[in-house]
Amino acid sequence: MNDTGSLMTGGRVLAAYLGDMRLELTKMARTPAFAVPTILFPALFYLLFGIVMGGGRGDGPFAVQALARWSMFGTMAPGLFGFGVSLAFERENGQMILRQALPMPAGSYLIARMINAMVFVAISTLLMLALAMFVGHVPMSAGQVLRLLLVNVTGVLPFCAIGLFMGSMISGQAAPAIINIIYLPMAFLSGVLFPIPNKFLQQIQPVWPSYHLGQLTLGAVGGTWAGELSHHVAALVGVTVLFFVLAMRKLGNRGISLLGRPRAPGAASPLRRAVNLVVLATAIGLLLLGVMGGTASHSAANVAATSKGESVDGSAAPPVADSSTSPLGVAAPESPVIAEFDDGSTRAAYGIGFTATDDKSRGGNSTVSQRLVEGGADHTRAALEVSGDVGTAIQYPFVGTSFLPNGQPQVDFLKQGFMDYSTRHTLRFRARGDGKNYLVVIMGPQVDAIPGMYGFVAGPEWQEVRVPLHDLGGVDLQRVKAISIGSMTPGEFRFQIDGVRIE
């Protein structure tokens, strides 16, 4: 009678694992209070902010990237809530203790929960894909669909680990609220869903795992993304291991082991401690590598500049558009002068511009026009006046006037060259206007990430605007493609600029 263990065949153990998975899925499927918010809410957000209000429709790169961005949002929830809230409740109501006493195969609960989160993510991503294809009429290749699913289904793991950690700490009653307090800021501060208008918050975007997953989902659909693949993967693996180890420790202190045998308190061998330490150190190292690397290469790119004609054939390998692979910009001319507008034209001293630019190519309905006006700043002859109306048809409207320092005529915007301004410190110009807020936008090689931005107010009197180039978060000054001055604020606007210099 002592060898009952041998009667527990591999087949029976496998059946136990599969049974636990099925039961966890059954539980979730029968709990609409969990299933509805975790799957439907992100999809509704995508429908509302991505497709309807954001203009993420049709075959432009913007549309498919909106899908990629919001699918990241949908991936976070099953991990955070599926692990966090459920674990907190089951820990409190004694279920975890009963599981410890039962001869459940090692790690079965964890695996079941993980598969469960992955299935939910797959459903969430597929639902958004369906919305994209049938509501947004966004054409998707099989490759794009498969890569997006793969990235999201594996990308839920860091959020599972965070959820597990939360679930090991907090009470079941408090869990939904506390996890929402983490979920929503982490999603929105990543800058993946909406651009962040705050320089500091922009700079710390790589701190959030959602930022790294967002870059990977963008890459999965062939969109442009920031940073390096290895940094994003390192950060996500680091987060997963770190929070997993912390959660196991916390649960262990509560007498719960999800991996198998309950740990005897105080009985950890020196070897085991050493292994734990090494694992923790490695996780923190990976995390730091990802976050620091991400911060370094988290350079500007431009949401506003994708042209509708860009090819986003998902069957091609994702274009790795990070800074290091783009050619360096040509050296800037010696003279700091960009444009004085005193020679009777809107032309700059070099490059292309200044040219009025609207957002029609991205589906926007903003209008803009520019002209020279008599009486520039400092009693010069003339200044450039830009006026128009910022529309609300798309998520990120932007109109203004643009200067491409290394621009060539008759060349697609995406193929325009760069200029190396890394030795310059300040972009200066005079501005006056209707008292509204305006933005200086500096675009680098990445056309779909968030560009470097600097806000200013154009008042009735001429005032100097000084843009500290090296303090703008993530602007790659070696590769400046375009400098635009304009408005994102819906409504009519009018401003004048003069004496544009970079020095």
Beta bridge partners of 356: 401
Footprint (CB under 8 A) of another protein, residues 133-162: none
Which of 19, 375, 468, 490 is close enough to bind another protein by CB under 8 A? 19
Distances (CA, A) of 119 to 44, 103, 113, 450: 19, 26, 10, 31
Asked if 85 and 54 count as a contact pair (C-beta separation under 8 A), the reply is: no
Asked if 103 and 209 count as a contact pair (C-beta separation under 8 A), the reply is: no
What is the distance between the alpha carbons of residues 503 and 471, in angstroms, rounded to a whole number? 14
Which of 10, 142, 200, 261 is close enough to bind another protein by CB under 8 A? 261
Q: Mind giving me the DSSP string for 84-99?
A: HHHHHHHHHTTHHHHH
Q: Which one, 261 or 415, has the nearer CB to another protein?
A: 261
Q: Which of 91, 219, 83, 90 is nearest to 156 (CA)?
A: 83
**Quick check: 10 binds another protein (CB under 8 A)?**
no
Distances (CA, A) of 318 to 148, 217, 229, 315: 11, 10, 11, 8
**Quick check: 255 binds another protein (CB under 8 A)?**
yes
Q: Which one, 24 or 385, has the nearer CB to another protein?
A: 24
The separation between CA 85 and the C-alpha centre of its own chain, rounded to angstroms, equals: 25
Which of 16, 135, 149, 289 is close enough to bind another protein by CB under 8 A? 16
Structure tokens given for 154: 């594996």
What is the distance between the alpha carbons of residues 46 and 187, in angstroms, rounded to a whole number? 13
- At residue 179's C-alpha, the angle toward residues 221 and 296, to 5°, is 50
Stretch of 97-105, 113-121, 195-203, 352-360 lying at the interface with another protein (CB under 8 A): 97-105
Which of 10, 142, 200, 264 is close enough to bind another protein by CB under 8 A? 264
Q: Please give the span between the terminal C-alpha atoms of the chain, in angstroms, as a whole number.
A: 87
Stretch of 2-10, 57-65, 113-121, 345-353 lying at the interface with another protein (CB under 8 A): 2-10
Q: Mind giving me the DSSP string for 2-42?
A: TTHHHHS-HHHHHHHHHHHHHHHHHHHHT-HHHHIIIIIHH
What is the distance between the alpha carbons of residues 278 and 270, in angstroms, rounded to a whole number? 12
**Quick check: 100 binds another protein (CB under 8 A)?**
yes
Site string for another protein, 101-120 (x = CB under 8 A): xxxxxx--------------
**Quick check: 27 binds another protein (CB under 8 A)?**
yes
**Quick check: 470 binds another protein (CB under 8 A)?**
no
Minimum Å gap between C-beta 113 and another protein is 13
Beta bridge partners of 456: 438
Minimum Å gap between C-beta 109 and another protein is 12
Minimum Å gap between C-beta 68 and another protein is 34
Structure tokens given for 75: 């991936």
Stretch of 20-28, 316-324, 404-412, 453-461 lying at the interface with another protein (CB under 8 A): 20-28
Which of 36, 48, 53, 98 is close enough to bind another protein by CB under 8 A? 98
Q: Tell me, what DSSP letter sits at residue 207?
A: G
Q: Which one, 142 or 264, has the nearer CB to another protein?
A: 264
Stretch of 42-50, 241-249, 264-272, 434-442 lying at the interface with another protein (CB under 8 A): 264-272
Q: Which of 111, 114, 80 is nearest to 209 (CA)?
A: 80
Q: Tell me, what DSSP letter sits at residue 316?
A: S
Minimum Å gap between C-beta 260 and another protein is 8
**Quick check: 455 binds another protein (CB under 8 A)?**
no
Size of the site for another protein (CB under 8 A): 36
Which of 94, 270, 344, 460 is close enough to bind another protein by CB under 8 A? 94
Q: Which one, 21 or 339, has the nearer CB to another protein?
A: 21
**Strand ranges for 313-436 from DSSP E:** 330-331, 337-339, 352-357, 367-374, 382-390, 399-404, 419-420, 426-433
370 SS3 class:
strand
What is the distance between the alpha carbons of residues 21 and 159, in angstroms, rounded to a whole number? 19
Q: Which one, 31 or 325, has the nearer CB to another protein?
A: 31
**Quick check: 1 binds another protein (CB under 8 A)?**
yes
Which of 173, 181, 185, 260 is close enough to bind another protein by CB under 8 A? 260
**Quick check: 7 binds another protein (CB under 8 A)?**
yes
Which of 267, 374, 379, 461 is close enough to bind another protein by CB under 8 A? 267
Which of 20, 228, 310, 359 is close enough to bind another protein by CB under 8 A? 20
Stretch of 21-29, 155-163, 292-300, 307-315 lying at the interface with another protein (CB under 8 A): 21-29
User: How many CB atoms sit inside 10 A of residue 394's CB?
Assistant: 22
Q: Which one, 11 or 460, has the nearer CB to another protein?
A: 11
Q: Which one, 8 or 316, has the nearer CB to another protein?
A: 8
Question: Which residues in this chain contact another protein in the complex, by CB under 8 A?
Answer: 1-2, 4-5, 7-9, 12, 15-16, 19-20, 23, 26-27, 30-31, 93-95, 97-98, 100-106, 255, 260-262, 264-265, 267
